[in-house]
Chain A
Amino acid sequence: MSWKKDKVRKPAKPNEALTRRDFLQGAGVAVSGGLLVGREPAIAASPDEKAKVLGPEAVPITLRINGKAQKLTLEPRVTLLDALRNHLDMTGAKKMCDRGTCGACTVILDGKAVYACSVLAIAAQGKEILTIEGLAAGGKLHPVMTAFVEHDAHQCGFCTPGFVMASKAFLDKNPNPLQQDVEEGLGGNLCRCGVYVGVRQAALDAAKARLGEKGGKAHGKV
């Protein structure tokens, strides 16, 4: 969760540099009481300026999902994955491991692939959240999806939305990958049916198709 780290590193005012004691107090609050507002400093900055502590009861939050603002009332402990699945009926992101290992819940947060099970919904406020539903907006398949269909990069399909989102984010940053790059880039997603052969080909093929449109030349083996 980068918001927390950034705020610790950069206190709002230079002369209010943190003491170890302040830091521990702040950390204690975060652990025992609940969580702090995403845009506020994550630590109690001074004795007379109490940190705004949220929860444990539900609080109003706003998430920007697929370009649309969604207002929810959630306990601060609710993950982005549960917010999507249980509160917004957006079930494309799947719950498979629920601990940041399998990637079945992958969504794109400000352009970066993240595990939605490992991000709290409140921490995703103010960010652009792209889900598989948004990637197939208007019922039109995204080119990565088309490549998955063509290469049969799925069997039961449960891990597929996560793989598609991870592939999309990966290809945005690596438009011309080698097979080895794909294996590293998609190494954070797991499949039990064993469709990696198809996923590998789909990712390379999607890159090739996009480069072709732009007049580039792919070097990845398909």
Chain B
Amino acid sequence: MAKCKYDWPEAGQRKLIGKRISRVTGPAMASGQAKYSYDINRPGMLYARLLACPYAHAKIKSIDTSEAEKLPGVKTVRIIQRVGTEIQWAGDEIVAVVAEREEIAEDALRRIKVEYEKLPHIVHEEDLSQVGDRAKPAAEQRTGDPDAAFKDPDAVISEGYYGLPVIIHCTPETHGGVAEWVDAENLRVWISTQNVSGLPPQIAETLGTPVTNIQALCEYMGGGFGSKFSPDRWGIEMARLAKDVGKPVKLMLQREHDSMVAGARPSYFAKIRVAAKKDGTLTGWESDTWGTGGPGGATLPPIPYVLNVPNQIKRHTSVATNVGPARAWRAPGHPQACYLTMTALDDLAAKLNMDPIEFLMKNLALAKPREQIYRQELQKAAELAEWTKNWHPRGDKSPGPIKRGLGVSIHTWGGGGHNSLCNVAIHPDGSVEITLGSQDLGTGTRTVIAITAAETFGLPVEAVTVNIGDSKYPPSGGSGGSTTVGGVSGSTRRGCVDALEQLFAAVAPGLGVPAEQLEAADGRIQVKGDAAKSLTWKQACAKLGVKSVQVQGKNPGPCQLGSSGVGGVQIADVSVDTETGIVKINKMVAVQDCGLIIDLKTAENQCYGAITMGIGYSLFEEKIMDQVTGRMLNPNLDSYKLAGIGDIGEIVVHMMTGPGYDDRGVIGLGEPPVIAPGAAISNAVANAIGVRVPTLPLTPAKVLAALAKGGIA
């Protein structure tokens, strides 16, 4: 293929790309110097607190804020939702208070009297017979001839019940920020967001303020996982409150409130039948699924997942509940679809007395176009998990109460590169700046930009200044769907190549060669094939005189720098205590492709993190709702259990690189590795104890209940 001028350097030429490089924000984070939106303290700043509705479904009958207004230190009380409004979930915001100090704002909330007319609510959806008219069945979907597939007398059919509850995002930094009116017309907000460039248009529309008058800032942000794309009601309210009081206002959700309202991953439950020939060839799929993402219900997840089983019937029922609205949760729909599919297939493999890896391999033709990728990844994962040595058929027959098991799962995700514009500047003093309205969620956006620029300029990473987190910079897409690395690396690469051309043009006459014969390497601008004829980067930049090179880089653009679509395989190795029901992770193996990797260190860390999060939702996490009160019972971190440092066992990550992988260009990695842990861990538990624990999280009580029904054998 002809070389295109923006193409990534060939493998042998890469000095930085694909190496393990420490993230550029590391020192600021480790020393506490990194300033998050929560950390912004402005002169004269006041604090806002929100009064939340205690009922899951209610109509506001009256609101009396007079006592709150009288409290010394209270600056304003603002009604957010008026009398007569029907509230659909507990935690919905009713009144906002601004006070001199947080404690006073909290006191003021207690003086507000709101009367409600309680209305019937539904917060449980697992038992479909109890949800009444909240169930909205969708039309049945059919492909092929499922009736024939299931009636085939030679078919082996496995039938089971599977499910995962609603979980929350639980971002370390809660939602919210600081709003400040710079003058009567111009608003500046610091918001914890995944969408710096996308915020001003959303705020402008609601406030009726011109987009040009709004600046959104977010230098560091404490986790989003899909829940921070919008300014949200609190983001709008803090701007209104700041205008009312004429001072900057900080409005951060308190943890309990954040857990109730600021993000949930839809639940899914399913009765699934799968059919295969005796040799393991999949022939049929039948599923009845239902789930909720709050008032909006939940659409059919992408099942059967990865393997496009022939002859399908799918029936789905969306359940509208009062659990608080769903938000995109890392790889929306995929962890659920993966869990439902890969557990059902694992049960079928067990019924066929087949090794599940052999079973998946047998059916990989259904995983087009990534058949070969999965084959390679399954082999690699099996090797790293010592599958041949450690796997056994269902039910660990060894003596003693601790049973060990292995489970496997595969996943997929799109990714790619979002739209991104950046400004690349090379200054006469040799400094280099890349400026764009992107954000770093902890995925290493700044680091990826710095590496891309440094690689292109032949400079060390530290030589590049990266400016992001400001909506006044050239716009870049929101960070969702694993599209940021592809977007910002594409715009940065193109901009840097063009900027370098201009620098070459400025220094070529002095070196006595045409600009095309120059290259940038090892901190120098030199004549290709004659390194003796060169200038240091600084000397070269001095030739610019007083004018910096300023170039705009774009993604998408000429030359194929990225693509879309990845696979991925994970294997879980667990021990289950059959006396206590406690599941312990011994080892997790993740084999993952994501095209060309810019920074291997942060890429591996994405996988470590995603698997850790996956262990959390497999073993501990659930948004537990109380049907009597309609409230979330575990909205704080002492009761909403995240995985801790002692819960993760050994995690082995292998990134697929080299020919066939690197040449796909940059793809993105935030979502894929978080998809498979649920199924892999559940399958490992079934392998250990000989019986399926049907729903996540795999709590001791559920493990013991499953064992009571059978197991080991």
Q: A: which residues have CB within 8 A of B?
A: 75, 77-78, 82, 85-86, 89, 91-102, 104, 131-133, 135-136, 141-142, 144-146, 148-150, 152-161, 164, 182-184, 186-187, 189-200
Tell me the bound Cα distance from A155 to B602 in angstroms: 8
- What's the minimum C-beta distance from A173 to chain B, rounded to whole angstroms? 17
Sampled A-B contacts (21; CB under 8 Å) = A75-B101, A77-B103, A94-B38, A94-B39, A96-B174, A104-B172, A135-B31, A141-B30, A154-B442, A156-B172, A157-B34, A158-B36, A159-B172, A161-B30, A182-B645, A192-B223, A193-B613, A194-B612, A195-B608, A196-B648, A198-B608
Q: How many residues of B contact A (CB 8 A)?
A: 59
Q: Which residues of B contact A95 (CB under 8 A)?
A: 38, 252
Residue from B39, B223, B637 within 8 A of A156 (CB atoms):
B223
Tell me the bound Cα distance from A200 to B546 in angstroms: 49
Contact A156 B31 (CB under 8 A): no
Contact A94 B222 (CB under 8 A): yes
B26 within 8 A of partner (CB): yes
Interface centre among A77, A132, A152 (most CB of B within 10 A): A152
Contact B646 A187 (CB under 8 A): yes
* In the complex, per-residue mask of B6-31: 1 if CB is within 8 Å of any chain A CB, else 0: 00000000000000001101111111
Q: Which residues of A contact B608 (CB under 8 A)?
A: 194-198
Contact A192 B39 (CB under 8 A): no
Q: Which residues of B contact A191 (CB under 8 A)?
A: 172, 612, 642, 645
- What's the minimum C-beta distance from B572 to chain A, rounded to whole angstroms? 15
Q: Which residues of A contact B174 (CB under 8 A)?
A: 96
Q: Which residue of A lies closest to B639 (CB)?
A: A101
Residue from B31, B220, B255, B610 within 8 A of A132 (CB atoms):
B31
Q: Which residues of B contact A85 (CB under 8 A)?
A: 39, 41
Contact B30 A96 (CB under 8 A): no
Contact B30 A154 (CB under 8 A): yes
Contact A82 B36 (CB under 8 A): no
Contact A136 B33 (CB under 8 A): yes
Contact A91 B645 (CB under 8 A): no
Contact A98 B255 (CB under 8 A): yes
Q: B: which residues have CB within 8 A of A?
A: 22-23, 25-36, 38-39, 41, 47, 101-103, 170-174, 220-223, 225, 252, 254-255, 441-444, 601-602, 605-606, 608-613, 616, 636-638, 642-646, 648, 651
Interface centre among A98, A146, A183, A194 (most CB of B within 10 A): A194
Q: Which residue of A lies closest to B642 (CB)?
A: A190
- What's the minimum C-beta distance from B566 to chain A, rounded to whole angstroms? 19
Contact A157 B636 (CB under 8 A): no
- What's the minimum C-beta distance from B42 to chain A, rounded to whole angstroms? 10
Q: Which residues of B contact A136 (CB under 8 A)?
A: 31-33
Residue from A100, A133, A144 within 8 A of B32 (CB atoms):
A133
Q: Which residues of B contact A78 (CB under 8 A)?
A: 103
- What's the minimum C-beta distance from B260 to chain A, rounded to whole angstroms? 15
- What's the minimum C-beta distance from B126 to chain A, rounded to whole angstroms? 26
Contact A141 B27 (CB under 8 A): yes
Interface centre among B22, B47, B611 (most CB of A within 10 A): B22
Contact A158 B103 (CB under 8 A): no
Q: Which residues of A contact B648 (CB under 8 A)?
A: 194, 196-197
Q: Which residue of B lies closest to A190 (CB)?
A: B642
Tell me the bound Cα distance from A13 to B31 in angstroms: 46
Classify the interface of chain A: helix, strand, loop or mixed. loop
Q: Which residues of B contact A150 (CB under 8 A)?
A: 22
Q: Which residue of A lies closest to B39 (CB)?
A: A91
Tell me the bound Cα distance from A172 to B29 in angstroms: 22
Contact A145 B609 (CB under 8 A): no
- What's the minimum C-beta distance from A81 to chain B, rounded to whole angstroms? 11
Contact B222 A199 (CB under 8 A): no
Interface centre among A159, A193, A198 (most CB of B within 10 A): A193
Q: Which residues of B contact A132 (CB under 8 A)?
A: 31-32
Q: Which residues of B contact A142 (CB under 8 A)?
A: 31
Q: Which residues of A contact B47 (CB under 8 A)?
A: 86
Contact B171 A192 (CB under 8 A): yes
Contact A96 B172 (CB under 8 A): yes
- What's the minimum C-beta distance from A220 to chain B, rounded to whole angstroms? 14
Contact B645 A152 (CB under 8 A): no
Q: Which residues of B contact A154 (CB under 8 A)?
A: 23, 26, 29-30, 442
Q: Which residues of A contact B29 (CB under 8 A)?
A: 148, 154, 157, 160-161
Residue from B31, B101, B255, B611 within 8 A of A194 (CB atoms):
B611
Closest 4 CB pairs of A and B: A92-B32, A194-B612, A156-B442, A157-B29
Q: Which residue of A lies closest to B34 (CB)?
A: A157
